[in-house]
Amino acid sequence: MTSNLQSARKTETIFRTENLNIYYGSFLAVRDVSIEIPKNQITAFIGPSGCGKSTVLRCFNRLNDLIKSFHIDGKIFYHSADLYAEDIDPVEVRRQIGMVFQKPNPFPKTIYDNIAFGPRLLGFKGDMDELVERSLKQAALWDDVKDKLKALGTDLSGGQQQRLCIARAVAVQPDVILMDEPCSALDPISTLKVEDLLQELKENYTIVIVTHNMQQASRSADRTAFFNVVANEKGQRTGYIEEYDRTEVIFQAPTKKTTQDYVSGRFG
Amino acid sequence: MASTDRSSPMSWQRTGLSRSIDQGFVWLTGAFAIGVGVVLLAIALRVGSDAMPAIQKFGLGFLVTSRWSVNDEVFGALTQIYGTIVTSLIALLIAVPIGIGVALFLSEDYLPPRIQQPIVFLIELLAAIPSVVYGLWGIFVLIPILRPIGIWLNANFGWFPPFSVAPAGPGIYAAGIILSIMILPIIAAISRDALVAVPSELRQAAYGLGATRWETIFQVILPAAFSGIVGGIMLALGRAMGETMAVTMVIGNTDTIRSASILSQGSTVASLLANQFAEASGLQVASLMYAALILFGLTLVVNVLAELIVRRFSLKL
């Protein structure tokens, strides 16, 4: 595995997009995204429904490739590598960029096998028991499940399932973890546990999180991008980034009035 | 529906009639469900009681005797039990890998939906062909094609017991292959339904961890659909064991086991019943009923096994 992705120069900016436009067929879903996502920080994407937050997030690990009509123009750089270059294998991208989904989606396998799934794909030869334990500890789930690693992952509670999914993502030691509304299906206590977890995870990982919960963004994120959406004359809705800055700036002294209106709860 | 007082939108109350319609519906569906069980039981009891004379005369020896002599009134169904099991196994051996392969191909997005849908429909149409048509096709098309292949197999691999007899035309192999075509649409259609029903979140989770499509299919999608696929295979096996017309037309209908070769002629329980019930009398009828009971038992065993496999593996996933 000595592709361009592996040999790319490591930079302090994990992702950089340049004039990114995202299309489904001829429909422009998100326009003109130019942002930089720094290393070992939590970056939050907020904004009203349908503004393209998740769509942009899913470009970062090329998960949108699964949708046939999807295509982009503009550039996305991961470190110094052009993510959408011809010679980049999306499978390899996803092995370095983990993802946690909106709905907890553990495999219908044991807790142990859920964690071991990714490392086994990568041909991990080390001590799997140790790796499973370490991953579950990082996801603050070890104490809950250490006596029942052979139980089905799908039998855990919703909050535990989501932490299992985080542990599963962490187990392959990715560079980045993308989170697509990871707490929207969780109760408030589980949500707080996941938020605490984010602060611990950012020591080792870069996190990009999409959230509908503005308190979550203001509590957890170092930087926040506010997405907005406009409809054209045909009623097609195109998302764009209204404002992107440090979280305190977005929430306390935004430069745009729409940002101010959104974060103060006046629309969206 | 029941009359309601519409003077105020909030004053709606269920009337006695509405309640009794609900209760009546519960009873009606309950009666239907119980009715199915009663019919099954009644058939089993009747077949069992009609088989009694043969059960008393031959006992379990019936299962291991391969002689069926109307003149001597000596009956044993080993030939037919053996033929039923072997033809069904040949059918599964061919139809399971092909059926699951077809199901996988048609459940992934390899084809645009415009092409995929008609193919799915055509495969389901295979199940709609009457079995007598399969039989006729077997006699006039399949056997003439298979026979030279059988002769070649016997000439070159005759030392291998399943090929130790030169084929006369009809035989166990032809029945097995006809059955495999007949059960293919069941396996393909049910497996496809099971595969399509796997939540897309699981697929995304696997892709998100860097699994290739291949790894996703074999390590996540297939295991998640396992119990549904086994269910389809068992349904197909039940169909194969009970299939009568097509098998009777191509198997050759001998009443002894000639050899271990699948190229030799044979007989199944179902083909035995179809061939003999019209002229049977006395102990022969009882023996046919006994054979029918055994077929009944075989399918029961298959279904129980399927249930056990599904439970065992859906926990181990």
- In this prediction, residue B7 carries a pLDDT of 55
- Measured between beta carbons, which residues in chain A are less than 8 angstroms from residue B204? 63, 66, 99, 101, 105
How close A74 comes to chain B (CA, Å)? 23
The CA distance from A137 to A142, in Å, is: 5
> Shortest CA distance to B230 belongs to which of B89, B96, B95, B85?
B96
Residue pLDDT, tens place only, B226-270: 888 998 999 899 999 999 999 999 999 888 887 888 999 999 999
Cβ–Cβ gap B204/A101 under 8 Å:
yes
- Measured between beta carbons, which residues in chain B are less than 8 angstroms from residue A105? 199, 201-202, 204-205
- Measured between beta carbons, which residues in chain A are less than 8 angstroms from residue B225? none
Residue pLDDT, tens place only, B143-178: 999 999 999 999 999 888 889 888 888 999 999 999
Per-residue pLDDT band at B9 (split at 50, 70, 90):
low
Cβ–Cβ gap B109/A68 under 8 Å:
yes
| Cα angle value A25/A27/A31 (rounded, 5°) | 120
How close B257 comes to chain A (CA, Å)? 46
- In this prediction, residue B1 carries a pLDDT of 45
B252: left (phi over 0), alpha (psi -120 to 50) or beta: left
Do A129 and A113 contact (CB within 8 A), yes or no?
A: no
Cβ–Cβ gap B209/A95 under 8 Å:
yes
Q: Which residue of B has its CA nearest to A103?
A: B201
Cβ–Cβ gap B207/A63 under 8 Å:
yes
Q: What is the model's pTM?
A: 0.82
* pLDDT at A1 > cutoff 50: no
Cβ–Cβ gap B211/A91 under 8 Å:
yes
How close A29 comes to chain B (CA, Å)? 21
- In this prediction, residue A6 carries a pLDDT of 64
* pLDDT at B316 > cutoff 90: no
The CA distance from B39 to B32, in Å, is: 11
Say whether A88 sits in a helix, a strand or coil. coil
> Shortest CA distance to B219 belongs to which of A170, A150, A160, A116?
A116
- DSSP 8-class letter at A154: G
Please report, to the nearest 10 degrees, the dihedral formed by the alpha carbons of residues A115, A118, A122, A125 taken in order.
10
| CATH architecture for residues A4-263 | 3-Layer(aba) Sandwich (3.40)
Do A113 and A191 contact (CB within 8 A), yes or no?
A: no
Question: CB contact, 8 Å: A99 with chain B?
Answer: yes
Cβ–Cβ gap B223/A122 under 8 Å:
no
Within a 10 A sphere around the Cβ of B210, how many other Cβ atoms? Answer: 24
Q: Which residue of A has its CA nearest to B205?
A: A105
Q: What percent of chain B has pLDDT over 70?
A: 95
Fill in the amino acid letter for B168.
A
Positive or negative, the CA dihedral A82, A88, A90, A94 is negative
Question: CB contact, 8 Å: B219 with chain A?
Answer: yes
- In this prediction, residue A128 carries a pLDDT of 94
Would you tell me which residues 29-88 of chain A have a C-beta closer than 8 angstroms to some C-beta of chain B?
A: 61, 63, 66, 68
Question: CB contact, 8 Å: B199 with chain A?
Answer: yes
The CA distance from A196 to A206, in Å, is: 15
Cβ–Cβ gap B207/A94 under 8 Å:
yes
Chain A / chain B CB contacts < 8 angstroms: 66
The CA distance from B9 to A263, in Å, is: 40
* pLDDT at A179 > cutoff 50: yes
Residue pLDDT, tens place only, B190-225: 999 999 999 999 999 999 998 999 999 999 999 999
Question: What does the H/E/C string look like for B252-309?
Answer: ECCCCCCCCCCCCCECCHHHHHHHHHHHCCCHHHHHHHHHHHHHHHHHHHHHHHHHHH
- DSSP 8-class letter at A27: E
Do A15 and A76 contact (CB within 8 A), yes or no?
A: yes
A68, A121, A172 ranked by CB distance to B215: nearest: A121
> Shortest CA distance to B197 belongs to which of B221, B179, B172?
B221
What's the mean pLDDT when you consider all of chain B? 89
- Measured between beta carbons, which residues in chain A are less than 8 angstroms from residue B201? 101, 103, 105
Cβ–Cβ gap A152/B220 under 8 Å:
no
List, in sequence order, every beta strand (DSSP E) within A94-210. Answer: 97-100, 176-180, 206-210
H helices present in chain B, as ranges = 16-58, 78-107, 113-126, 131-137, 143-157, 172-196, 200-208, 213-216, 222-224, 226-242, 245-250, 269-276, 283-316
Say whether A81 sits in a helix, a strand or coil. strand
The CA distance from B37 to B44, in Å, is: 11
CA A31 to chain centre: 19
The CA distance from B119 to B124, in Å, is: 9
- In this prediction, residue A2 carries a pLDDT of 43
How close A248 comes to chain B (CA, Å)? 31
**Topology of the domain comprising B61-316:** MetI-like fold (1.10.3720)
Q: What is the largest CA-CA distance in chain A?
A: 59
B299 CB-near residues (< 8 Å, 6+ apart): B238, B241, B242
Chain B interface, best mutation among A54, A121, A176, by max B CB count within 10 A: A121
B167: left (phi over 0), alpha (psi -120 to 50) or beta: beta
Chain A interface, best mutation among B109, B202, B209, by max A CB count within 10 A: B209
Residue pLDDT, tens place only, B86-139: 999 999 999 999 999 999 999 988 888 899 999 999 988 988 999 999 999 999
- Measured between beta carbons, which residues in chain B are less than 8 angstroms from residue A122? 210
Cβ–Cβ gap B209/A91 under 8 Å:
no
* pLDDT at A209 > cutoff 80: yes
Cβ–Cβ gap A152/B317 under 8 Å:
yes
Residue pLDDT, tens place only, B67-89: 888 888 889 999 999 999 999 99
